[in-house]
Structure 1
Amino acid sequence: MKWNKYSIKTTTEAVDLISASLSELGIEGIEICDNVQLTKEEAKSMFVDFIPDLPEDDGSAVVNFYLDSEDDDHTILDKVKDEIESLRIFCNVGEGTITESETEDKDWINNWKQYWHTFNIGDLYIKPTWEEVTEEMKGHPILSIDPGTAFGTGSHETTRLVIRQLQKYVKSGDEVLDVGCGSGILSVVALKYGAGHAFGTDLDPNAIIASHENADQNDISHSQLEVIEGNIIDDKAIKDACGYEKYDIVCANILADVLEPLSTCIHEHMKVGAYFITSGIIDSKEEEVVTAFKKNPHLEIVEVNHDGEWVNVTARRAN
């Protein structure tokens, strides 16, 4: 299928009003291009650990939208032009000019598969669902995952760091708590290495769906891997649901800015001698996270590991 792509040259001031107008006209999939820097608060809410450098914001923006070329008789385009002119009364829309180009729909769902193949972390093989188990994989733990529906696939440095620590510390029958579980991949890995039960928490309701899908894909029952939505740091109902002094392993591959407040209370859920395995820490935040961990008298840091610019901090509940 071919699509007509329309690009509105405007200002950051007018972006919201133009987007709302397009939505009212029934146009979906609006794309906004600008150089407006994220605030720290926005970065936290969007699960961004560091804010990328952008060119200086000059107030300009482009709003793109797409119409099916077969149905596009420019009726909608004429309405968009009228809306832009109407908005000039309320804000500075800038040039408000619209350029047109054509793009072709592609089978992205299948085309990207050529770039994602089975890989291993130690003796663990992580394979996409569409690839077969080879002779080389037999006799080793295998994690089958569909990266099209998951938050994480194990290929990112932060996930690798935690997986390596799980391979080292998980014992048969362990109780595992996965904070910010995302796709549930760390819980599944822990269960593959002999953990008896895993309990995950996440702020995103889609994490529950993704975790259950990955559990099903790897023949893990929902009683073995339980996932709930909520914040373990300050929601007592979630804390109670997780249980206290219960876990042998706690893993958290989340933002450094979340790990710091988590480090003040996570020991409540850990057995004495349990391990707290963390990542999601960019190297510029390493000292800050380590300092936060050291402030908790119940935790002692046993390892700090690096993979590229990412950091793992593993601590143990000492008392």
Structure 2
Amino acid sequence: MKWSEICIHTTNEAIEPISNILHETGASGVVIEDPLDLDKERENTFGEIFELSADEYPEEGVYIKAYLPVNSFLGETIDEVKQAVNNLMLYDIDLGRNQITLSEIKEEEWATAWKKYYKPVKISKQITITPTWENYKPVATDEIIIELDPGMAFGTGTHPTTVLSIQALEQYLKSDDVVLDVGCGSGVLSIASAKLGAKHVYAYDLDDIAVKSTKLNTKLNKVDNKIITKQSNLLDHVDMEVDVIVSNILAEIIVRFVSDAWKNLKFGGLFITSGIIQAKKQMVKDELQQHGFQVIEINEMEDWVSIIAKKI
């Protein structure tokens, strides 16, 4: 079978929504080529993630690549992708150059092309994320390993927004806490919560692919007995009292359910938000404070922001 590689030249801000669009159109895996990766310093203890060549990266912005089968519907699929990406401008998402190119690729090349970008990486004091095909051995007695199959949905779990979320969970989550993960994607935050000691985790996502991916990854990590995964539009019709709500999605979406987050949190509970670009930080902060939350910490990584707020 022949495959077509679709490459979208865009911005960091647009990575998550465009990746979602590509998965919804049937892409089996998404590759992000971000020139910021060329300058990252990583501890030798954990090895390099992959060999980097500057020639494969844009001078500005990012490349998002995905692989689609070459068939009679390809042209129609590409048109749908272009339209869906352009519609993101309605949400004030900066698309940058927004250039889409296509190239043909052989099946054997497609099957391994994106895997070279994904190796085990330690993203916090305790947690290391590794792909299922890597035989990784812990280097510390308290190290927590999360295995992911990124071919199913929404990235590898090493994006700054995910790292910020997991670092916040590691710092604030207490043993036997009940957690709500809104927009669970691949389930990485739910899995991290369970492995950090949460009693129960409720993982919600509107996308059916994300729900299936979360269920797969929770079983893979042997925490499916702690995690209840359901399809849900944010917190619509959700009524419970939890200790922590975590959500790594777009700032524009976060502000839409702040009031529902307040209703579903115990007093003293925490709302951990991520997926926020610098330009939208104040908007999210203001919305949280208007609903009674106390902002207790703001963390930043590259161009991304995480806000931790407390119900008081």
1:1-319 correspondence runs (5 A): 27-30=72-75, 31-32=78-79, 42-43=87-88, 50-54=93-97, 104-121=106-123, 122-136=125-139, 139-221=142-224, 223-233=225-235, 235-236=236-237, 239-240=238-239, 243=240, 246-297=241-292, 299-318=293-312
Amino acid corresponding to residue 112 of structure 1 in structure 2: W
Kept in 1: contact 2:195–2:223 (CA 8 A):
no
Query: How far 1:232 moved relative to its partner?
Result: 3.6
Kept in 1: contact 2:153–2:209 (CA 8 A):
no
Q: Deviations over 1:159-198 (max 9, x none)?
A: 0110000000111111000011111110100111111110
Listed as ranges, the gaps of 5+ residues in structure 1 are 6-25, 65-100
Higher normalized helix content (fraction of residues)? 2
- 2:210 aligned counterpart, secondary structure: helix
Query: How far 1:52 moved relative to its partner?
Result: 1.1
Kept in 2: contact 1:300–1:317 (CA 8 A):
yes
Distance 1:228 1:165, change over 3 A: same
Query: How far 1:109 moved relative to its partner?
Result: 2.1
Q: Deviations over 1:129-179 (max 9, x none)?
A: 111132515541100111111323221010011000000011111100001
Aligned to 1:77: none
Q: Take 1:3 and 1:164, find their aligned partners in 2: how far apart are those partners?
A: 38
Instruction: Give the superposed CA RMSD.
Output: 3.0
Distance 1:135 1:268, change over 3 A: closer
User: Aligned residues, how many?
Assistant: 244
Query: How far 1:230 moved relative to its partner?
Result: 1.6
Distance 1:102 1:251, change over 3 A: closer
Query: How far 1:38 moved relative to its partner?
Result: 5.4
Query: How far 1:36 moved relative to its partner?
Result: 7.6
Identity %: 33
Aligned to 1:10: none
Q: Take 1:312 and 1:177, find their aligned partners in 2: how far apart are those partners?
A: 17
Kept in 2: contact 1:276–1:314 (CA 8 A):
yes
Amino acid corresponding to residue 248 of structure 1 in structure 2: D
Kept in 2: contact 1:38–1:51 (CA 8 A):
no
Kept in 2: contact 1:49–1:256 (CA 8 A):
no
Amino acid corresponding to residue 290 of structure 1 in structure 2: K
Kept in 2: contact 1:125–1:137 (CA 8 A):
no
Query: Structure 2 length as normaliser, TM-score?
Result: 0.70
